[in-house]
Structure 1
Amino acid sequence: MNTLPFPITETPDEAIAEAARKLFVGEVEFLKGVVAMDGLPPDDRVEVCFAGRSNVGKSSLINALTGRKGLARASNTPGRTQEINYFTLADSHFLVDLPGYGFANAPLAKVKEWQALLKQYLAGRVGLRRAFVLIDFRHGVKAVDEEIMSLLDGSAVTFQCVLTKADKVKAADRDRVLAQVREKLAKHPAAFPEIVTTSSETGDGIPTLRAIIAGLA
């Protein structure tokens, strides 16, 4: 058994994975993009959000989870997602794509607006069960990632680390990056004590993440 702090989350058993798959391949739609708190939908269902620095693969991950290539719009331009984007999953969940932090090429005033909205959002959603902080497996935790983790700590929002692009990390670098991620997570009281590794390209880890989200209902 893995006794490391922040172990890799195990693959769910077949029955749980299949129930989660059916949830995610069912009805899912883009609901709205939100730029102010008064635009948020009713806080009446389980909500999970995805946070990550620009180009970490948030949109690609949401598309992989739902099996819909064009549901969340991926972009090669850092900072393109400038709204809190809401997706409905059946009648039980909201999936929320947060603006990519780092905000490359954005005016300072706009960055401050996004940061203020993010803080208000995290503090004000009763149904928000978990934030998933996406980290590029090739690079590990950066300073800007720790900033969002500290914000989640302060907002008392449980977050779970999701390593993206697992298919692109070199085998020789895997243990080193995992050790660095575990060391950084240990400093954050809001961190959930398991890590999920994923690849939107190969599908690795997607059944696991689906099962986690489905189990939060």
Structure 2
Amino acid sequence: MSEEEQYAEALEAARVLFARPVSFVMGAVSVAQLPPDELPEVAFAGRSNVGKSSLINALVGQKYLARASNEPGRTRELNFFLLNDAMHMVDLPGYGWARASKTTVKKFQNLGRDYLRGRPNLKRAYLLIDSRHGLKEVDNEPMDALDKAAVSYQIVLTKADKIKPAELAKVIEATQNAIKKRPAAHPVVLATSSETGFGIPELRLEIMQTCEVSL
């Protein structure tokens, strides 16, 4: 079997995995409420309007599993989703809220940090960045927190369908250059579109392999 055939087979296995039953488990507002750390899990972080809910829904082929809000920053819990009884996907509270008070922001930032520091079964965090804007100053804080916690993380560009391919290539290159010296950053930057499905198969495969889940 050629490398191309092996890769196509792996993509298909990932597609089948993410088509398996998936359910919302719980929303935790404190570390004490977290479910047991027996299963491998990945977490999704990003600014409050970056499209985390849309990406999670695109991964599992459902429209309403993760609920998107019309008001940015409404996701203020650690939302756990169980896939195929084999792994968790965790939607972290968004950051960069314009309307939230400083006290509220600090509370949920601390919740995210405590989760990242104390979750031994967390295999990787996926930091979502709007491809139209690239990395911004506000993104440095979560990257610093991930580096400090020594949690492997990978940049996933969202809304890639909103810009031209040449512009997307420049954003990918600029992002890769920006994270070169960050110790916990995965060197490969993925570009995705929840609307068109672009990059979703590749992200599914990354998650499947990172969690070492097999069918």
Common fold by TM > 0.5: yes
Counterpart position of 2:24 = 30
For the 8 Å contact 1:55–1:76, the answer to whether it is kept is: no
Aligned residues: 208
For the 8 Å contact 2:172–2:189, the answer to whether it is kept is: no
Counterpart position of 2:154 = 160
Supply the AA of the counterpart residue of 2:54.
Answer: S
Counterpart position of 2:185 = 191
For residues 56-109 of structure 1, what are the alpha-carbon distances to aligned partners after superposition, in whole Å with 9 as ceiling and x for unaligned? 110000000000100001123211111110000111110000011112311211
**Which whole-Å CA distance do the structure 2 matches of 1:183 and 1:62 have between them?**
27
Structure 2: 5+ residue runs without aligned partners? none
For residues 159-216 of structure 1, what are the alpha-carbon distances to aligned partners after superposition, in whole Å with 9 as ceiling and x for unaligned? 0010111110123422332232122211311101111111001101111111111112
Supply the AA of the counterpart residue of 1:46.
Answer: P
1:119 aligns with 2:117: no
Counterpart position of 2:197 = 203
- If the length of structure 2 is used for normalisation, what is the TM-score? 0.92
Greater Cα offset, 174-183 or 141-150? 174-183
For the 8 Å contact 1:55–1:75, the answer to whether it is kept is: no
**Which whole-Å CA distance do the structure 2 matches of 1:91 and 1:171 have between them?**
37
Counterpart position of 1:182 = 176
Counterpart position of 1:5 = none
**Which whole-Å CA distance do the structure 1 matches of 2:91 and 2:63 have between them?**
15
**Which whole-Å CA distance do the structure 2 matches of 1:91 and 1:118 have between them?**
24
Structure 1: 5+ residue runs without aligned partners? 1-9
Identity, % of aligned positions: 55
Larger relative contact order, structure 1 or 2 (CA cutoff 8 Å, min sep 6): 1
SS at match of 1:208: helix
Counterpart of 1:62 (choices 56, 64, 79) is: 56
For the 8 Å contact 1:28–1:87, the answer to whether it is kept is: yes
Counterpart of 2:206 (choices 205, 209, 212) is: 212
**Which whole-Å CA distance do the structure 2 matches of 1:116 and 1:138 have between them?**
28
Counterpart position of 1:143 = 137
